[in-house]
Amino acid sequence: MVCKGICHKYRAVWISQTLRYASGHKRCLGCDLYLEWDGLHCPCCGKKLRCKPRTGKSKQMFVEQKMGLQKIQ
């Protein structure tokens, strides 16, 4: 359950702290990295990925941005 460096292949490009969750980026606490990865677990260390913001305020923004993104699509 340690970082093997595989995660760097799936490394997500920086957008903004609040936008990144809405665009599907997930945070791996094991590798301390944001990933563009479809699974629930890190392909590298196997830890569960966080795919939602933690705080209430950015959670609200997350929902709004997600709705906004769906409208664009």
- Among 10, 25, 42, 53, which residue sits at the site for Zn ion (rule: CB under 5 A)? 42
Q: Which of 7, 25, 61, 62 binds Zn ion (CB under 5 A)?
A: 7
- Asked if residues 55 and 44 have their Cβ atoms less than 8 Å apart, the reply is no
Residue 49 CB, nearest distance to Zn ion (Å)?
8
Q: Which helix or strand (DSSP H or E) is residue 61 part of?
A: helix 56-72
Contact call for residue 49 and Zn ion (CB under 5 A)? no
Kindly tell me which residue out of 44, 53, 62, 65 binds Zn ion, with binding defined by CB under 5 A.
44
